[in-house]
Structure 1
Amino acid sequence: MVGTRGRGRRVAAAAAVLALVAAGCGGGADDGTVELRYAWWGNADRAELTQQAIDLFEEQHPNISVTPTFQEWDAYWQRLNTDAAGGGLPDVMHMDYMYLREYADRGLLLDLNEQVGENLDVSGTLDAFADVGTVDGARYAVPIGGNTFTMVYIPEEFEAAGVEVPEDGWTWDDYDAAIEQVSESSGEIYGGHDYGTLIWVLELQLRQEGGELFTEDGGLGVDAARLAEFWSHMQPLRDSGAIVPTSEAVEVQPLATIGAGLSASEFNWDNQLARFTGETDRELALAPVPTSDPDNLGQYLKPSMMYAAFSRTEHPAEAAMLIDFMTNSPEVAQIFGGSRGIPANTAQREGAEYNEVDQAILDYEDAIFDQLTVPPPAPPAGAGSLEGEFIRLGETVGLGEATPEEAAQEFIAYAEQTLGS
C-alpha cells in the first residue's frame, strides 16, 4: 500500500504534469516502455484513488507507464478543447455522455470495437449500458459507473409534517402538495427547491409523457410552449412558500439547498448523495422522482463517466488495455467503491466495497432497477453547453427578471443556434 506521504507526492506531481505536459498523445521511452497520457476530471481525493489503481496496472504491465493529469470539471473541458484544437488529446481520457457525440463527430475518438476481444473485454457491462458508448455503430467509450435521478429528502421533516413518502413515488401534484405541507408545518425550512434550473427534470417529464429532450435527428425535443409551461409550474409553489426562493438558493451556492439547511427535498443525480451528506448532518434518504405516469418513471441509468481513447494515439492496444483494467479489475472496484458512480461492470458492481452512502445509492438503484428504461442515444454535438444556459434562464425566471415565455423563447433560439437545427 502506498503511504500517505507517497500519495501526496503523486497527487502534486499529477497536478504539475497537467500544467507542463504538451498537447498530444503519449510516446515511448528508450527502454521500450510505452508511455500513456491519462486525463480525467476530479479532485485530490480522487487523485489518490486513481494513483493506487494506476500503480496496480503498472505492476501488472511493466512495459506501460501511465502519466495521469486531472482538473476540476470546467477546467478539464477547457483543457480538452485546447488540446483538441492543437491537434492532440491524451491517449486515454474520461468522457461525459453529453460530450460523447461532439468529440466522436470531430473524429477525435478511437473506435474501441477494433480492440474488443483482444485488449478490451466489454462482456461484463450491464445490459442497460450496452450501447451508451456507441455512435452510429462505433464504440467510442466504455462506461465507468452509472447513476440515475432521484429525490433526496430529509425523512425527519416529512414525518414531522405527517407526510409519508411512498416507496413507488408520487405524482407531481402529490409532490407539490407534500412540500407545501412540509413548509407550513416547519416554518423554518422549505419543503423543496426550485427545480426550474434543472434540465434533467424537464427531460424526465418529457420521457414520462412519451417524448425525449433531443430528437433522433439531433434537434431539441421540446417547444417554447411546453418549456414555458415547465417554468410556469413553479410560480404557485414560490407564491405559497413551498420552495426555496431563487435569491436564497443563489446566495448559498455552491452548497445545495438541502445541504445549506434551506430545503427538505431536492432533485439530483443519486451519486450526489455523497456531496449532500458532506454538507449537512441531517439524515437523508432517496426516493423515485415524481411522475405524471405511474407506469413510467422516465428514469434511466446514465453513465456517470466513461473511458475513451484518442483516435490518433500511437498506442491503441495499450490504451485499450488500460481501459480494460480500469473497468474490469475487481481490485480497481475495491479502490473506488461507488465514488465514480456505482460500477457499470457486473463483476465490479458486485465486488466493490461500499461505504454507507454508496450502499444507500446501490439499494435505491436496485429497488427501482426494473422500472429504469433504456438510456436515450448520446446527445447531439453542442448539447453540453445547453445545461448552463438552462440554469441561467431558469434563475432569471425564478428571480422575476424574465417571464417563462420570454425565457422559453430565448432558450429555444439558443438551442437552435447551438445544435444547428
Structure 2
Amino acid sequence: MTASSVRRRLSAGAAAVAAGALLLSGCAAGEPAATFDPDAKVTLNFAFWGNDDRANRYNDLVAAFNEEHPNIKVNVSFTDYPSYWEKRATEAAGGGLPDVFQFSDSYLRQYAEPGYVLDLGKEKDYIDFSTFEDSLLGTGRLDGTQYSLPTGYSMWADFVNHDLIAKYDVEAPEGGTSPEEFDDWMAGFTEAAGGAVYGGTDYTQRIQGFELSLRAKGKNLYTEDGELGFSKAELREFWNSGAKLRDSVTVPQKKLEEISPKSGMGAQLTASEMSWSNFLGGYLADSGAKSISIIAPPTYKAGSKDLYQQGGLQIAISAKTKHPEASAVFLDYIVNSKEAGRIFGTTLGFPASSSKLAGTTLEGVDKQVADYIESVSDRVGEAPPVPVIGYGSLEQKFWDLGKEIGLGSVSVDDAVEQFFTEADVILQ
C-alpha cells in the first residue's frame, strides 16, 4: 500500500468516522468531531519481546515505514518474554500501555475482556483484513470482535545444531520419533561430547511439550468452557518423565540461568532445543552456527494430530492510545506490507497475510521454515480453544516451576500443587 493510497483511504475513512461519531453521540451540529490528518506529526510507542536479531529487523521496518510516513515517529523498546508481560500488566492496570505492541493469543481474554486493547474493527479504514484466512483472523478474535492480528503462524518444532553434531561426530536425530527414542539420542550426544555440550534442554519445562502429550490423547490444555483440560496425575506423570533428562542428559538449569536471556541453543551449550518454528533465524543469529535444521518434535502417539497452526504472535493497539488511526496505519504496515515480508521473512512466523507473504522470498532460512511446515502437514489438527483468561500467566508459571524442578528447589509433587493452586486462583 503506497503512501498516497493510504492517504486516500484515511481521508475517506476519517470523513465516514466523523459523520458516524456525530450521529452516534448526538452532539450538536456546532460541535465538530475530531478528524485524522494523515500528515500531522505523531509519536507512537511500540514495544515487543525478542532478541537483538528481532530488534534489528524492527528498526529496519520502522525506517522503511518512515519513508512512506515521515510524520509518524515510532519509539521502539523490547525486552525478554517474562519481563515483557510483567511490564505490560503494570501498564494495563495504570492505563499506560504502548500505542502499538506485540501481543499473544495467550493473553487475548485477559486483555480484551477488561477493555485494554482496541477493537480493530473501529479502524477498519486503515487496516486491510481481507489478506487473512478466517482461521488466522480467529486467533485474534474474541466473541466476534477483532482485537489483534497475527504476524504469522508457527508450528512446535525441534531444532538441531549440525555444527555441533559434526564436531562430536554424532549422527543426526530423526524427527517424529517417540520421546524415549529422542531422549536416548540426547543422552548419546551428551556422552559423546563428554559433558562439554549437552544433547538438549529439558523439554518437560515447557507447557507446549505437555500440550503435545495431551493432544496425542485427543485432549487440550483447557476446555471450551474455560477449565483446565488435564488432571494433577497427568501433569505429575509428565514432569516425572523428565527426571532422567535432568539427572544427566540435558543442560543443567544452573548453566541456563547463567547465560540468560540466551537459550542453551543460542549459547551453543545444547545440540537441540524445542520451540516454535519461527525461532530459526534467532537461533542462527544468537549461536553463530552455520547450520541448524528443523525436525518434527517427538510424538506421544504415531499418527495423532498433535500439532496445530499457532498464530500466537500478534500485534495489538492500546484502547487508550491518543492516536488510534496512526497506530492502525503502523499495525497494518507490520502485518500486511511487503516490506515486512522482506525484512522479517518467517522470523515472526510464516506470514499470515497474503500481502506480507508476497514480499517474502522463501530461500535460505525462510525456505527451511516453509519446508518444515509442509513436512508436518499430516500431523496438523484443529487449533485448541481460545486460551482461558490468565493462560499467559499459567504458561509462565509452568515454565518457572519447570526451572525450579531443574534447580532442585521444588519437588515435582510440590510443583504440581503450586500449579493447580495458581490455576484455581486465576480461573476463578
TM-score by length of 1: 0.80
Give the aligned partner of residue 41 of structure 1.
48
Aligned match of 1:104 in 108, 112, 119?
A: 112
- Looking at structure 2, the residues matched to 410 and 114 of structure 1 have their Cα atoms a distance apart, in angstroms, of 41
Aligned match of 2:65 in 37, 44, 54?
A: 54
Give the aligned partner of residue 404 of structure 2.
396
Q: Any conservation in 1 of the 2:106–2:312 contact (CA below 8 Å)?
A: no
Instruction: In structure 1, list runs of 5 or more residues that go unmatched.
Output: 1-26
- Looking at structure 2, the residues matched to 192 and 329 of structure 1 have their Cα atoms a distance apart, in angstroms, of 37
TM-aligned CA distance change 1:92 to 1:207, over 3 Å:
same
Q: Please tell me whether residue 293 in structure 1 is matched to residue 301 in structure 2.
A: yes
| Deviation (angstroms), 1:316 | 4.6
Q: Any conservation in 1 of the 2:45–2:76 contact (CA below 8 Å)?
A: yes
Q: Any conservation in 2 of the 1:28–1:34 contact (CA below 8 Å)?
A: no
TM-aligned CA distance change 1:38 to 1:359, over 3 Å:
farther
- Looking at structure 1, the residues matched to 43 and 374 of structure 2 have their Cα atoms a distance apart, in angstroms, of 36
Q: Please tell me whether residue 368 in structure 1 is matched to residue 379 in structure 2.
A: no
RMSD of aligned Cα (Å): 3.1
User: Which range is displaced more, 404-413 or 107-116?
Assistant: 107-116
Aligned match of 2:203 in 195, 209, 214?
A: 195
- Looking at structure 1, the residues matched to 347 and 275 of structure 2 have their Cα atoms a distance apart, in angstroms, of 16
Q: Any conservation in 2 of the 1:337–1:355 contact (CA below 8 Å)?
A: no
Which letter maps to 2:298? P
Give the aligned partner of residue 140 of structure 2.
133
- Looking at structure 1, the residues matched to 259 and 83 of structure 2 have their Cα atoms a distance apart, in angstroms, of 22
* DSSP 3-state at the match of 1:130: helix
- Looking at structure 2, the residues matched to 306 and 390 of structure 1 have their Cα atoms a distance apart, in angstroms, of 22
TM-aligned CA distance change 1:66 to 1:301, over 3 Å:
farther
TM-aligned CA distance change 1:404 to 1:366, over 3 Å:
same
Q: Deviations over 1:70-91 (max 9, x none)?
A: 2324554444434433335444
Correspondence list, 1:6-405, <5 A: 33=40, 35=42, 37-42=44-49, 44-58=55-69, 65-73=72-80, 74=82, 76-116=84-124, 118-126=125-133, 128-155=135-162, 163=171, 165-167=173-175, 169-188=176-195, 189-239=197-247, 241-277=248-284, 278-281=286-289, 283-313=291-321, 316-353=324-361, 356-405=364-413
- Looking at structure 2, the residues matched to 259 and 327 of structure 1 have their Cα atoms a distance apart, in angstroms, of 27
TM-aligned CA distance change 1:129 to 1:348, over 3 Å:
same
User: Which range is displaced more, 230-239 or 316-325?
Assistant: 316-325
- Looking at structure 1, the residues matched to 403 and 102 of structure 2 have their Cα atoms a distance apart, in angstroms, of 30
* DSSP 3-state at the match of 2:214: helix
TM-score by length of 2: 0.79
TM-aligned CA distance change 1:84 to 1:57, over 3 Å:
farther
Q: Any conservation in 2 of the 1:39–1:68 contact (CA below 8 Å)?
A: yes
* DSSP 3-state at the match of 2:274: strand
% identity of equivalent residues: 31
Instruction: State the aligned residue count.
Output: 387
TM-aligned CA distance change 1:258 to 1:72, over 3 Å:
closer
| Deviation (angstroms), 1:158 | 5.9
- Looking at structure 2, the residues matched to 125 and 196 of structure 1 have their Cα atoms a distance apart, in angstroms, of 34
Q: Any conservation in 2 of the 1:300–1:372 contact (CA below 8 Å)?
A: yes
Give the aligned partner of residue 416 of structure 1.
424
TM-aligned CA distance change 1:48 to 1:154, over 3 Å:
closer
